[in-house]
Amino acid sequence: MLINAQLDYTEADFNAIASLVYNRVGISLHKNKKNLVYNRLIGRVRANKLSNFAQYIKMLGDNSHTEWEYFVNALTTNLTYFFREHYHFELLKAYVNEHFVHTTITEPVRIWCSACSTGEEAYSIAMTMVEVFGTSKPPVKILATDLNTHVLSIARKGHYTPDQLERVTEKQMHQFFITHKHNNTYEIKPEIKALVHFKRLNLMDRQWPMNSQFQAIFCRNVMIYFDKNTQRSLLNKFAHYLPAGSLLFLGHSENFPDHQNQFVLLRQTTYTRV
């Protein structure tokens, strides 16, 4: 889609928007994203009855303005599906089986899905834990966070269409989902929902509210949107929440920035805390 010449949108507007989103959530927008930004935000400019992007940017100058939520939601990407990078879940299953299934544990296994989007990743973790522990009530607590409030509302409901379940086996469909034939959707069963706590969190916040460490953190296909300095900062904060031997899962196209000694590659974009 070409930029609509009837609505003023300049290079300076794009640079201002890129600066706003970087400072707020750490996302680094390159110049080739100019048209994408226009397409993502044009609806918000019109919804606020503004005649150009400069007016919209001026409105966002108020850091407490309610439009910030819509702005961030519009510019965050939320591509996900069940059991994405299936090997990660096999590694998680093997790790939990080795360290927790056959031992007496006094605290639940804590796992953090740090960019949960519409919930498929968090629920995939929950299903994996049910399978590895062999019970619908495993000793597991899953924190699922995202910046985007819209996708969090979808995740909490846990309703999905058949095309979203392509990687879910027939056995898993029967075990973990309720079929709603009237609208051809599938809902995550209550006992699986109970394992996951959804919460809004900006990874760029200076301090995170969690008080406990995690045995595994999923941060997949997130760091590709950050520059190297932001990546290093994020890894340092993750390291604080991961004890030695725990796991960090990244996306298949992501690499660690140089000069870090807190994680070593286990295999296939899975790292262990040293």
84 is known to lie in a ligand binding site: yes
User: Is 76 part of any known ligand binding site?
Assistant: no
Question: In the annotation, is 62 catalytic?
Answer: no
- The answer to whether the annotation marks 169 as part of a ligand binding site is no
b vs e for 225-263, b when ≥16 Cβ sit within 10 Å of the residue's Cβ? Answer: bbeeebbbbbbeebbebbeeebbbbbbeebebbeeeebb
Whether 250 has a binding-site annotation, put simply, is: no
Q: With the C-alpha atoms ordered 253, 100, 188, 153, is the resulting torsion angle positive or negative?
A: negative
Out of 24, 40, 156, 232, which one is annotated catalytic? 40
Q: Establish whether 107 is an annotated binding residue.
A: no
Does 202 appear as a known binding residue?
yes
- SS3 readout for 105-156: CCCCEEEEECCCCCCHHHHHHHHHHHHHHCCCCCCEEEEEEECCHHHHHHHH
Q: Among the options 13, 110, 146, 273, which is catalytic?
A: 146
To the question of whether residue 121 is assigned a binding role by annotation, the answer is yes
Identify whether 227 is a catalytic site residue: no
Q: How far apart are CA 55 and CA 162, in angstroms?
A: 42
Is there a binding annotation on residue 203? Answer: yes
Q: Is residue 206 a known part of a binding site?
A: no
**Burial tier of 52 (Cβ tally within 10 Å: 0-12, 13-18, 19+):** middle
Show binding-site residues for S-adenosyl-L-methionine.
78, 80, 84, 121, 146, 202-203, 220-221
Show binding-site residues.
78, 80, 84, 121, 146, 202-203, 220-221
Q: Would you name the residues annotated as active-site residues?
A: 40, 146
